[in-house]
Structure 1
Amino acid sequence: MDNTFFSRFHPRVIDVLLRDHRFWFQLGKPTRAVAFESTSIRNFMFVVRGSGILSANGAEYPLTVGSVFYFPYRSKVRISYTSEEPMQFYSVHYDYKLIEWDGGSVICSDPQESHMPIPIVTQTTDIESFSRSMRQLYEQWHGKAADYEWQSRLMFLSLVNEVRRLYLQKNEGDLVRRAINKSMDYIRSRYAEPLEREELAEVASLSMSYFSIMFKKVAGCTPTQYITKVRLDKAKQLLQSSELTVSEVARQVGFQDPLYFARVFAQHAGMPPREYRKG
């Protein structure tokens, strides 16, 4: 996420529209798709009814109720609806400059990129709240109160920031999931060794408390429970495929106390290790 971009982002709302069935007419005839060879205006949109597909520069993105999407500037774009009724969406026409303060002076520059540093399509998690905010922006713009442009810009900034927040949240979730998966791989490759929470948290590059919370969220169990599951699964394999004694199996899978191993195994498998071997 380019935080420097948003610290300089200074938008201007040009228009706020509600695109309904009238949008889906070309040359007086109804159509299921509208295409632009090169978008000449920046658009920020939110689907309130129906579903469709956005095609931008050859890539396709599905759209459903709650989808926030925008047209990359000066791009080949096609939007179509796949629902039975025409897709409806709010559309904010906007432009922006990049404003940067250098001491007491201001540097204003035109954006060089066609994309904002957020995904072209984002699915909102609170559709009702986002829909309400879009409706308020629409009503504010068309109400034309004395300060409507200022208020509309604030509302638009809030909407963009919510999309940015969702993007950051998703990225953080993906990074944490990868970190937890890395620690799970580590456990599966070293289950026979003593494994401490501090060591696993270090492998995941997370604090111990956060590691424990996120491990349970991702794996569905605590790190200790997962280690036990991996060790017992390996013990079952050894009991059925080797001539090792129960004590030897226990030590090979990381249990130093054979009696403790037998008790834990019986709780997990519903029978002692020797009976499991006979089965």
Structure 2
Amino acid sequence: MDNAFFSRFHPRVIGVLRRDREFWLSQSKDGRTASYESTSLRNFMFVTCGAGTVTVNGALHPLSVGSVFYFPYRSKCQVAYTSEQPMQFYSVHYDYKLIEWDGSSVTCLDPQENSLPLPIVTQVSEIESFAVQMKRLYDLWQQKDADYEWQARLLFLGIVDEVRKLYAQKNEGDLVRRAIVKTMDYIKHHYAEPLEREELAEVAALSMSYFSVMFKKVAGCTPTQYITKIRLDKARQLLQTSSLTVSEVAREVGFQDPLYFARVFASHTGMPPREYRKA
């Protein structure tokens, strides 16, 4: 699971549609297929009724109620229904950028890959719950009340995140991923102590170079960045809930140099620790 991708994923919803019999009749003479030589829009879909198939660049995938599927950008795709009744589904047209933020500056990147780091088809387990979320998104888009685009983005992000989690759960048996998750838990319990990469690689039982590569792939950041995030989260809690001095807070969360702690804290939160305490 490429969490580094999803930590930068910034979508924009272009349209939300409900596809039914009229859609199929408008697509082909037989009224059962929709073909695209090269998809011009990114499309994310959820099947609510019927069954069918989606073929992407020659690879065929079955669809049924509860299937989430998408068209990779600029790909040859065909979707068809195989049930007696036309397959019905919600369709979200969207685009996205990849946003990188280091605390002081933002970089906006165009995606280099045509596909999301997800399977073309994912079968959800909680079909009713997922259907409710898709209907909420559809209704929100149709009503177009104040802030509907912002709310649609939030809903769509939540929906994509559910699919991401399902995919991650199905791959939970992967030994390397489990080793990295174990290391992340170790950091959460030992953040106040000095933590070296060699020690963390030992916890994961991986070589140092491979550990660093896989940690970023699973966690979405480097081990050092993750340690800093955990320490700063704990520091924020202490600043808000305790009477410890800034220097004492720094040492409590693993920073031996209070001045360095203050610089790191300010670069990540936008204000020094003392100001944050008053905010």
Could you say which TM-score interval applies, normalised by the shorter chain?
A: 0.5 to 0.7
Aligned position for 1:157: 157
1:175 deviation in Å? 5.4
1:30 deviation in Å? 4.5
1:4 aligns with 2:4: yes
Aligned position for 1:171: 171
1:18 aligns with 2:32: no
Letter in 2 for 1:9: F
SS in 2 for 1:151: helix
Counterparts of residues 59-138 of structure 1 (less than 5 Å): 59-138=59-138
SS in 1 for 2:139: helix
Q: Which TM-score applies when normalising by structure 2?
A: 0.61
1:175–1:160 distance in 2 versus 1, CA, 3 Å: same
Q: Distance in 1 between matches of 2:54 and 2:101?
A: 37
1:156–1:164 distance in 2 versus 1, CA, 3 Å: same
1:173 deviation in Å? 4.0
Letter in 2 for 1:126: E
1:60 deviation in Å? 0.6
1:102 deviation in Å? 3.0
1:84–1:124 distance in 2 versus 1, CA, 3 Å: same
SS in 1 for 2:171: helix
SS in 2 for 1:69: strand
Aligned position for 1:145: 145
1:129 deviation in Å? 0.2
1:149 deviation in Å? 0.6
Letter in 2 for 1:167: Y
1:143 deviation in Å? 1.0
Deviations 1:93-121 (A, max 9, x none): 00000000134111101001011111110
SS in 1 for 2:14: strand
1:27 deviation in Å? 6.6
Q: Are the equivalent residues in 1 in contact too, given 2:27–2:34 (CA < 8 A)?
A: no
Aligned position for 1:275: none
Q: Distance in 2 between matches of 1:103 and 1:143?
A: 36
Q: Distance in 2 between matches of 1:155 and 1:51?
A: 25
1:31 deviation in Å? 1.8
Aligned position for 2:56: 56
1:154 deviation in Å? 0.4
Gaps of 5+ in 1: 177-204, 206-279
SS in 1 for 2:39: coil
Which protein, 1 or 2, shows the higher relative CO under an 8 Å CA cutoff with sep ≥ 6? 2
SS in 1 for 2:5: helix
Q: How many residue pairs end up in the alignment?
A: 179
Letter in 2 for 1:153: R
Moved over 6 A (4+): none
SS in 1 for 2:75: coil
Letter in 1 for 2:147: D
Aligned position for 2:42: 42
1:103–1:60 distance in 2 versus 1, CA, 3 Å: same
SS in 2 for 1:4: helix
SS in 2 for 1:47: strand
1:26 deviation in Å? 4.0
1:32 deviation in Å? 1.1
Q: Which TM-score applies when normalising by structure 1?
A: 0.61
**What's the Cα RMSD here?**
2.0
Letter in 2 for 1:82: T
Letter in 2 for 1:125: S
SS in 2 for 1:75: coil
Q: Distance in 1 between matches of 2:148 and 2:63?
A: 30
1:27–1:145 distance in 2 versus 1, CA, 3 Å: closer
Gaps of 5+ in 2: 177-204, 206-279
Q: Which has the larger radius of gyration?
A: 1
Letter in 2 for 1:171: N
Percent identity, aligned pairs only, is: 67
Q: Distance in 1 between matches of 2:5 and 2:43?
A: 18
Aligned position for 1:179: none
Deviations 1:45-88 (A, max 9, x none): 00000000000011110000000000011000011000001100
Letter in 2 for 1:157: L
Aligned position for 2:237: none
Counterparts of residues 201-220 of structure 1 (less than 5 Å): none
Letter in 1 for 2:158: S
Q: Distance in 1 between matches of 2:173 and 2:28?
A: 47
